[in-house]
Structure 1
Amino acid sequence: MSIAARLDRLRSGIPGRTHASARASRAGSTPACTAQPPRDAASELADALEGRAVDGVVQITRDWQPAEADAHPSQALDRLPEVFGAGDADWIYIDTETTGLSGGVGTLAFMVGIARHRAQGGLQVRQFVLPGFSNERALLKQLLDCIGSGALIVSYNGKCFDLPLLQARLALQRIDTDLTAMRHLDLMYSVRRAFRRRWPDCRLQSAEQRLLGFFREDDLPGAEAPAAWQAWLRQRDARALQRVAEHNFHDLVSLARLHSLLPAIYEGSYLAADVDHGAVGRAWQKAGYERHACSLWESGVERLDERDSLDLAAAYRRNGEWVRAEAVWLKLFEAGSQTAACELSKFYEHRLRDPLRAIEFADVCAEPERSRRLGRLQEKLGVSGQLSFWPPGSVAKAMK
């Protein structure tokens, strides 16, 4: 008996063992498997978020068209100290939704939103969503392709959070691109500078409400975004992720709207009592645009405090506008400013060569400036005695 025949006899003797062809015949089916393979996660999530799956990453594309009141000429977008002269830059608005708010190696961006101005007006918003951890490299590659090399990035707190986090993920994925080296306008600093002295906080939603009149309804708080992604990973439940995508979309639109409004604030044409003209002017001054600073301070001169007015007078002095500087110092002196008194004393002593008038203001300066200035003026006038020992305010009267 052949080996094959012996094996057949042995198989037939095993209880419950039936030849495959016999089982298939009794079942009325063929041995081949007809079950459909499960759908990939990217396609499933893309359907849930009304996007499309591109190489394992979900992309959602939406357009936004502003109301007529929101329309601002694009050339005005560079009228801010940090980006002055950028003109028709490729402005890219960016916002991330992450697995945690503390940063660190274990935190990644599972959704990154990008918005760009359209030639016909409005914005095109593109959101990149991770269907799983293994797709991160593909997401980062697609994100970089979308941003391009010559973009000017605009964010809200992106300097401290979004860009460092994305840069860390690029390094972990061995992608040799330095996002942090690109030109970057962080609007949080622009808003803080203009309003932090008069607002309780400068969060994005506070700026939306106070400047744009936009109040979110049924918005998913950013702190709940990590749980929404976990619900997708563990249970394939994308309902909360839909709300995260909507939250991210509104963040991007608000960024663009704020960017359109802030140049008017920084140039003084936006009239509001809560704008800190002094701080905004100093930002222009620090960036090297002192004439812009003076124009802004002049437009809100009635709202300037002592420090702001002294900065304005100092700018006039540097530009040789002595009459204007004197007028500002005199106004401050009448309000009781000892610093303005010192400036006036120096002005009359050195510029107008009027030591008696200089003594009048030196007499009310704070110590030790009072004693030092009176001593030098006393020598110039050849007056005997120690004028600095006299009570403040009495020297000028005695000299008249």
Structure 2
Amino acid sequence: MSGLRDRLARHLKPGKAAAAPEAGAEQRQAELTPEQEQHGPAEGGGPAACPLSESAAGAGGGPAREPAAAPIAEGGAPADARSGSGQADEPAAPAAPAAPALAHPEAAAWAKLDAELYEFSAGSFVRRVRTYPMDAYHGRYRLDALHEHVRELEAFHPEAEPVHAEGLLFFDTETTGLGVGAGNVAFLVGIGYYEAGRFVVEQLFIRHPAEERAMLAYLEEKMKRFTHVVSYNGRTFDWPILQNRFILNRMRPDIDRLLHLDLLHPSRSLWKHSMPSVRLGKVEEAQLGYAREDDVSGAFAPELYVLYLAEGKTDVLRGVFVHNERDIVSLAALSALITRYLADEEPLEPKSPGDLFRLGQWLLKMNRLASAEKILELGFSRLQEQGEEGRAVSGDLLLRYAAYYKKAGVRDRAVELWNRLIRQAGPAAAAPVEAYIELAMHYEHGCKDYALALELSREALDVLRQRRRLLRRSEKAADEERRIAHRIDRLQRKLRDCGKSVSGRKASAKAAIPSKPPGQARPTKASTKPSGKPRPAYAADSLFDVARNPG
């Protein structure tokens, strides 16, 4: 195990765990129970030396520690030794005399992590409780911000019962692996909930597999008063693992009644294309304004648990507990942000046209039609401003806005965006084939201008063949080329049926497409070259001058 410890030494950073005691240590020393005075206070000040929110800690609103020997009602909620406000600077109630938990040889070691050996009717396990006042900040958002618009979460389950903040159970696990099979064990289950004017985080840890049944029995009893589960990728990972563990322990709790709010799905809809990753740590940094320091990655949690099982030292688990605690608090803050988007209360000034489009599309999916239309209109206006300033916009974004307006029946804006995409490409690059095809469909079926639709289809075929010379040929590109060729044949038949020349409208077709910006010459087309024997490909002046005839 020495090799494993050496490999993890870079991530554990033991030197920082023994930092100087935080401010207020003298006050906590006065709150020690008689048993803590006998064994001594926790070394290094425990995980509270790394507050979850610097702003909250500076204001005295950081997490309050639960006394390790506080009496807990069997099967019920933790009996807090503090008043209902949960403020960290309030004096603790008189401690109960001689709690039997500290008599265990490991009790002092777990007390250093602000945890306790918890005795439940089904057995024992390790429990760690942290409480936060409602005015504590996690990044830019207070923990009580969720209460203001919590009913907006009903958009996830419109036909279900009303949502209340006290009915939400924030849920996250640390497991021994990444699969959902029988061999994957959740050795640490973290839950968070609002209770008595504070936010409570409970972490349930098993020292060995024999304690799993007791932990699950406690969790089953705890979940009875909640109506919704809030997680991050929990629908496909954490929750199925928990269900499997109940089955393997021959327990059948009524947990299927809980409605799931998986915040990974709205995070993907909103930020997948604007962020390199939508992992919870990245989302909380970019969207919540909270950056973790000295955080132990969840990928190392299984190895640290194995190291604990081998050596029995609790200090290697400190980072795992703090990481899981931060995940739970981030779920509450991220839920508040999601409700503000649904309530149309989040500022939109700093958002780009791409951010506004994705937000509008997500609101459409959540049936917030009025807000979605307003946000998409704002995004379109900012696209227009960027066009007037001469700034290029992502072609994919222009296509997405055009597709939205096409579906909404606003054809003029869709045509404007397709034409802008063709102009924006310029002579040095080929515009996306989709823009030519969409315009060809518009002029064929909407305007009945078959000649212009034919010219646009030919342009699309030229772009596709030009791209084929640069990229490896694929079956998808071949199918698209056959569809365009079929469209060209159909348009030629329609022109012949109308008694018009197939190639007589080429000049007018070019004029119908808005001209390119001044100073940019049009690329030479193969169709405008004089007739005769074409030059071989190797004799072309450039790659883009290669004849575009098939073959």
**TM range, normalised to the smaller chain?**
0.7 to 0.9
Distance verdict in 2 for CA 1:378–1:183, change over 3 Å: farther
- C-alpha distance after superposition, 1:131-168 (max 9, x if no partner): 33211111112112222365221212212321121111
Q: How far is the alpha carbon of 1:170 from its aligned partner?
A: 0.9
In the alignment, the residues of structure 1 paired with residue 201 and residue 436 of structure 2 have an alpha-carbon distance, to the nearest angstrom, of 55
Paired residues for 1:109-188 under 5 Å: 109-118=186-195, 120=197, 123-148=199-224, 150-177=226-253, 179=255, 182-188=258-264
The structure-2 alpha-carbon separation of the partners of 1:398 and 1:195, relative to structure 1 and needing over 3 Å to count, comes to closer
428, 436, 454: which one pairs with 1:338?
A: 436
Question: Partner letter of residue 111 of structure 1?
Answer: L
Aligned residue in 2 for 1:22: none
Q: In the aligned structure 1, how far is the partner of 2:341 from the partner of 2:494? A: 46
Q: Quickly say closer, same or farther: Cα 1:54–1:325, change in 2 above 3 A.
A: farther
Assess if the C-alpha contact under 8 Å between 1:91 and 1:151 holds in 2.
yes
In the alignment, structure 1 segments of 5+ residues that lack a partner are 1-35, 318-323, 350-354
Cα distance in 2, alignment partners of residues 346 and 240 from structure 1: 69
8 Å CA contact 2:439–2:456 kept in 1: the answer is yes
Alignment CA distance shift 1:51-1:275 (3 Å): farther
Report deviation, 1:329.
Answer: 2.2
RMSD: 3.7
Aligned to 1:83: 156
Contact between 1:113 and 1:125, CA under 8 Å: does it hold in 2? yes
**Counterpart of 2:193 in 1: which secondary structure?**
strand
For the 8 Å contact 2:154–2:163, the answer to whether it is kept is: no
C-alpha deviation, 1:79, in angstroms: 4.6
What SS does the corresponding residue of 2:188 show, helix, strand or coil? strand
2:128 maps to 60
Which residue in the other structure is 2:171 paired with? 94
Task: Say whether the 8 Å CA contact 1:220–1:247 is kept in structure 2.
Answer: yes
- Partner amino acid for 2:192? A
Could you list the per-position Cα deviations for residues 194-233 of structure 1 after superposition, in whole angstroms to 9, with x for gaps in the alignment? 2222322222211122222322222222233234434444
Identity %: 24
Alpha-carbon spacing, 1:334–1:221, altered in 2? closer, same or farther (3 Å)? closer
**Aligned-residue offset at 1:258:** 1.8
Deviation at 1:375, TM superposition (A): 4.3
**What corresponds to 1:300 in structure 2?**
379
Give, in angstroms, the shift of residue 110 of structure 1. 1.4
CA distance in 2, matches of 1:230, 1:396: 71
Rounded Cα–Cα distance in structure 2 between residues aligned with 1:176 and 1:232: 30
Counterpart of 1:314 (choices 396, 406, 425) is 406
Q: CA deviation at 1:184?
A: 1.7
Change (3 A) 1:42 1:345: farther
Match of 1:372 in 2: 490
Paired position in structure 2 for 1:15: none
Partner of 1:327: 413
Q: Which residue does 1:211 correspond to in 2?
A: 287
* Cα deviations by residue, 1:329-379 (Å, 9 ceiling, x for unpaired): 223224322244135326644xxxxx45x7545642443435535644765
**What secondary structure is seen at the aligned counterpart in 2 of 1:60?**
strand
TM-score computed with the length of structure 2 as normaliser: 0.54
Query: 1:348/1:103 Cα in 2 relative to 1: closer, same or farther (>3 Å)?
Result: closer
In 2, the alpha carbon distance for the partners of 1:228 and 1:141 equals: 25
The change in CA–CA distance for 1:83 and 1:294 in structure 2 (over 3 A counts) is same
The amino acid that maps onto 1:61 is V
Equivalent residue letter for 1:372: R
Change over 3 Å in CA distance of 1:156–1:97 after alignment to 2: same
Question: TM-score when scaled to structure 1?
Answer: 0.72
Q: How does 1:98-109 map to 2 (within 5 A)?
A: 98-109=175-186
1:321 aligned partner:
none
State how far apart, in whole Å, the 2-side matches of 1:227 and 1:173 are.
Answer: 24
1:281 touches 1:294 (CA, 8 Å); kept in 2? Answer: yes
Rounded to whole Å, the distance in 2 between the matches of 1:58 and 1:346 is 71
In structure 2, give the amino acid aligned to 1:299: L
Q: Is the partner of 2:187 in helix, strand or coil?
A: strand
- Partners of 1:88 and 1:80 lie apart in 2 by 7
The 1-side partners of 2:317 and 2:354 are apart by: 37
Cα gap change, 1:375 to 1:137, in 2 (>3 Å): same
**Residue aligned with 2:287, SS:** helix
1:383 paired residue among 470, 482, 499: 499
Distance 1:96 1:398 in 2: 63
For the residues of structure 1 that align with 2:112 and 2:146, how far apart are their CA atoms?
Answer: 37
Match of 2:269 among 193, 198, 218: 193
Q: How does 1:34-49 map to 2 (within 5 A)?
A: 39-40=103-104, 43=107, 46-49=110-113
- Provide, for residues 305-332 of structure 1, a one-character-per-residue CA deviation record: whole Å limited to 9, x for no partner: 1332123213422xxxxxx432332232
CA apart distance, 1:250: 0.7
Distance in 2 of aligned mates of 1:264 and 1:155: 18
- The answer (yes or no) to whether the contact 1:196–1:202 under 8 Å persists in 2 is yes
Q: Residues 335 and 106 from structure 1, CA distance in 2 versus in 1: closer, same or farther, beyond 3 angstroms? A: closer
The alignment status of 1:70 with 2:141, answered yes or no, reads yes
CA 1:222 to 1:396, structure 2 compared with 1: closer, same or farther past 3 Å?
A: closer
Secondary structure, aligned partner of 1:261: helix
How many pairs are equivalent? 346
Distance 1:201 1:59 in 2: 32
C-alpha distance 92-150 of structure 1, shift in aligned 2 (>3 A)? closer
1:3 matched to which residue of 2? none
Identify if the C-alpha distance between structure 1 residues 94 and 314 changes in structure 2 by more than 3 Å, giving closer, same or farther: same
Q: Which protein shows a greater Rg?
A: 1
Q: Distance in 2 between matches of 1:116 and 1:392?
A: 70
Gaps of 5+ in 2: 1-99, 384-392, 423-434, 461-483, 513-551
**One-letter amino acid of the counterpart of residue 442, structure 2:** L
Q: Which moved more, 1:42-51 or 1:155-164?
A: 42-51
Give, as a single letter, the amino acid of the residue that structure 1 aligns with 2:156: V
Distance, in Å, in 1 between the alignment partners of 2:315 and 2:300 is 13
